Amino acid sequence: MISDRKLEHLLLCTHSDVEYHKKTGFKDVELVHKALPEVNQEEIDLSTSLLGKELDAPLIITAITGGHPASEIVNQKLARAAGKLNIGLGLGSQRAAVENPELESTYTIARQEAPEALIIGNIGAPQMELSSRAAEMMDLDALAIHLNPLQEAIQPEGDVDSRGYLENIQETVKNTSIPVIAKETGAGISGNDAQLLETAGIKAIDVAGAGGTSWAAVETHRSQDKSMGELYWDWGITTAASTVEVSQSVEIPVISSGGIRNGLEAVKALALGADVVGMALPVLKASYQGEEILQDFFHNFINQMKVAMFLVGASNLEELQNTDLVIQGKTREWLQERGYDTKIYARRSSL
């Protein structure tokens, strides 16, 4: 049953409208143009590291799939791309294979195809008791616990008793041999929640904010009664706002994701304070078009990032985190109401 649901998710996400109607907020973020960039665009260095692994670019394919025979080929293609580009790869929830070991190969294929890449395992918060088995299933660099209260609330079979999760996270961190990441699935993480997660021992946070794939939307397509999913389609903290909230609230690495669709948005997310950027849906769609198109997607994306970095005079990611930007519109309103400082970005290069 879980396995069938995995296939349904893959098909729905590639063929139906599953994205937020409200935006990520990155349109409210303007990088300050430099007429004198003093940088050679061809020498821009995007390399970084996350949880002890070097990455050639600050990119992660965030959790998508595994657990259905059809997902093996998807993970194979994603892993080949991640390996060639030396970027990170997140696997989909491993619950299906913990419960049915015959499905393990749909995940382990990723390590076979990308022996050196940063590979992140995945388990849902409602199934946290399966964490150590997920972590031991294969050679993983980290395990992500996904938080998906929106999806649980909308889906008919959802688990809506979330009492004790924070305590369970603390226990899981203690009992897991690899670093544990917390990730949302598209509704964002607030600064307050991020602080609780950091205190519980989480080693990195993926904000997975609102503006991209909406799990209320996915569940709307799956339900007979569409009214609940339609009502909550746009629920969540936008990715731009969540990126600021979380990166101003914790010291651990921050992954910005949720609706990031081009290299300019990625650069904005990094300039706002993220350490790495993640994407799921556009990568899945490109993978269905073939491995060459998938690689072109990333090459193009990286080139787009380099143009933005050139235009703000940032020759590496550290310089990018000191670049000037202005936060306007709804994102500024949100952040100011929430007590976050939006001005610190505006003239920081001259400080």
Closest to 125 in 3D by CA, of 86, 69, 164:
164
From its phi and psi, is residue 92 left (phi > 0), alpha (psi between -120 and 50) or beta? beta
Minimum CB–partner distance for residue 11 and ligand FNR (Å): 9
Residue 228 buriedness (CB in 10 A; 0-12 / 13-18 / 19+): middle
Stretch that binds ligand FNR, among 8-16, 28-36, 166-174, 323-331 (CB under 6 A): 8-16
Known binding residue 222? Answer is no
Report the residue number, 83 or 259, with the smaller CB distance to ligand FNR.
259
Instruction: Please enumerate in sequence order all residues whose Cβ is within 8 A of that of 335, keeping only pairs 6 or more positions apart, or say none.
Output: 241, 244, 245, 327, 342
User: Using the rule CB under 6 A, is 80 a contact of ligand FNR?
Assistant: no
Known binding residue 346? Answer is no
User: Using the rule CB under 6 A, is 77 a contact of ligand FNR?
Assistant: no
Question: CA–CA separation, 118 vs 204, rounded Å?
Answer: 14
Among 75, 76, 93, 172, binds ligand FNR (CB under 6 A): 93
User: Using the rule CB under 6 A, is 75 a contact of ligand FNR?
Assistant: no
Minimum CB–partner distance for residue 176 and ligand FNR (Å): 16
Q: Do 322 and 342 form a contact (C-beta atoms < 8 A)?
A: no
User: Using the rule CB under 6 A, is 58 a contact of ligand FNR?
Assistant: no
Q: Do 97 and 66 form a contact (C-beta atoms < 8 A)?
A: yes
Among 135, 284, 317, 320, binds ligand FNR (CB under 6 A): 284
Report the residue number, 9 or 332, with the smaller CB distance to ligand FNR.
9
User: Using the rule CB under 6 A, is 236 a contact of ligand FNR?
Assistant: no
Q: Hey, which residues between 152 and 211 contact ligand FNR (CB under 6 A)?
A: 183, 185-186, 208
Among 23, 146, 306, 332, binds ligand FNR (CB under 6 A): 146
Instruction: Please enumerate in sequence order all residues whose Cβ is within 8 A of that of 230, keeping only pairs 6 or more positions apart, or say none.
Output: 220
| Beta bridge pairs of residue 254 | 205
User: Using the rule CB under 6 A, is 134 a contact of ligand FNR?
Assistant: no
Among 71, 75, 122, 151, binds ligand FNR (CB under 6 A): 122
User: Using the rule CB under 6 A, is 217 a contact of ligand FNR?
Assistant: no
Minimum CB–partner distance for residue 270 and ligand FNR (Å): 16
User: Using the rule CB under 6 A, is 48 a contact of ligand FNR?
Assistant: no
Question: CA–CA separation, 150 vs 284, rounded Å?
Answer: 22
Residue stretches of the annotated binding site for substrate? 5-6, 93-95, 151
Per CB under 6 A, residues contacting ligand FNR are 9-10, 13, 62-65, 92-93, 122, 144, 146, 183, 185-186, 208, 212-213, 257-259, 279-281, 284
Residue stretches of the annotated binding site? 5-6, 62-65, 93-95, 122, 151-152, 183, 213, 259-261, 280-281
